[in-house]
Amino acid sequence: MLFSQIIGQQEVKDRLVRSVAEGRVPHAQLLCGPEGVGKLPLAIAYAQYICCENRGAHDACGMCPSCVKYNKLIHPDLHFVFPIIKPAGKTSTVCDDFIGEFRDLVLEKIYFNVDEWYARMSGDAKQGMIYTNESEEIVRKLSMKTYESEYKVMIVWLPEKLHETAANKLLKILEEPYEKTVFLLVSNAPDEILTTILSRTQQINVPKLPDAEVTRALLARHHGLTETEAADAARVANGSFLKAEMILEEENENRVNFDRFVSIMRLAWQVGNRKDHASLKTLRKWADDMAASSVGRERQKKFLNYAQRMVRENFIFNLHQAGLNYMTSYETDFSGRFSPFINERNVEELMAEFALAEKQIEQNVNAKMIFFDLVLKIIMLLKK
């Protein structure tokens, strides 16, 4: 993987390249930052640059024998550690049992999250972990001599998923590092890593991507996408290319949720102000439609989660600070008219009611009761 394949992050790229040019490659570095900003691709590109036999001033050559292997993630001196799900019936498993699937996902998507990895690996909802016996594999691999390159590189994706025993063993390795070995830890949540491990790594903060860079990348990757659609996704994604991609994939459902939110807020306002008594029947119909089996509990939960975001965004909209809002153009257009009805007198209670409804849906409470009770409470709260 080349630095040129990674969206933005020029300052981080320059820093990594400079460390190689100056011969100051730290034995342990931690790349941390929000999800979807390119931390894992940066770690892989950095490893490839370190091992490149004909590196340029800003990137690996991409053509030497080392780069050819790195392009397929099969270089013998490149090792990966990542969270895995132990198959049923197995008492012991290590990352190498899933290395083929992991390589395929990285080469296919570059930007992905841990849920996508779990789905690729097992297809169920279990949570993964880096198990204790993985530390023995790390020691075994690093105790060997390098095969082809000057350095052995160990990339640990999501070290916050390390089992406590494995984390302590990794700490010991970092305290007494093997010669010509580079550890690259890639984390979404560095505050969940042992502080003693953090203290033995050089931390590199990978920032959010500017909206303009995300927009350009989306337009380059999605033919037929309009600039407005790309800019909307980039804005809502708040610096995460991965989230922007997911927003585009879910745009149809987001638009449906937006329409549902607009509908219930307008109807609740009409009934609450006694302008349209017939709308009370429409409210009941809305609640019945939302409770229908065709919608399903997962979609119901997504709507309620979406409604909480819209309440929050509309409250912030009243501050007239565009940089604080993360909405699409059609959401912004609606909020220009609706936001005055979300204020300090009702915002917390509205958020609490939507959150409570989401929790009750998850607990399999009767959906018709939940949604009709919710709309009645919205009527009262919008009058505040």
In tens digits, the chain (384 residues) has pLDDT values of 899 999 999 999 999 999 999 988 899 999 999 999 999 999 999 999 999 999 899 999 989 999 999 999 999 999 999 999 887 767 778 888 899 999 999 999 889 988 888 888 876 556 788 988 888 888 888 888 888 888 899 999 999 998 888 888 888 888 888 888 999 999 999 999 989 999 999 999 999 999 999 999 999 988 878 888 888 888 888 899 999 998 888 777 788 889 899 988 888 888 777 655 556 778 888 888 888 866 677 788 889 999 999 999 999 988 888 777 778 778 888 998 899 999 899 999 999 999 999 999 888 888 889 998 998 899 889 887
pLDDT of residue 175: 85
Q: Within a 13 Å sphere around the CA of 352, how many CA atoms are in the beta-carbon half?
A: 7
State the Rg of the chain over Cα: 25
Start-end of H helices in the chain? 10-21, 39-51, 65-71, 99-109, 114-121, 134-142, 164-175, 195-198, 211-221, 227-237, 241-249, 251-272, 279-291, 296-317, 329-338, 347-362, 367-382
What does the DSSP 8-state code read for residue 160?
Answer: G
Q: What digits encode the pLDDT tens for the residues 13-62? A: 999 999 999 988 899 999 999 999 999 999 999 999 999 999 899 999 98
Cβ-count burial of 119 within 10 angstroms (0-12 exposed, 13-18 middle, 19+ buried)? middle
Residue with tokens 């970092």: 174
What does the DSSP 8-state code read for residue 127?
Answer: P
**Predicted TM-score (pTM) of this structure:** 0.72
Give one word for 164, left, alpha or beta, with left for phi > 0 and alpha for psi -120 to 50: alpha
Q: Are 190 and 160 in contact (CB under 8 A)?
A: yes
pLDDT of residue 238: 87
What is the distance between the alpha carbons of residues 57 and 52, in angstroms, rounded to a whole number? 12
**Cβ neighbour number for residue 74 with a 10 Å cutoff:** 11
Chain-centroid distance of CA 32 in Å reads: 13
Q: Within a 13 Å sphere around the CA of 297, how many CA atoms are in the beta-carbon half?
A: 12
The token pair that represents 143 in the structure block: 């105790």
pLDDT of residue 42: 96
H/E segment holding residue 344: none
pLDDT of residue 294: 64
What is the distance between the alpha carbons of residues 55 and 51, in angstroms, rounded to a whole number? 8
With H, G, I as helix, E, B as strand and everything else as coil, classify residue 6.
coil
List the 78-81 sheet strands across, edge first. Answer: 78-81, 152-157, 181-187, 28-32, 202-205
Closest among 141, 131, 201, 192 to 166, alpha carbons compared? 131
pLDDT of residue 274: 66
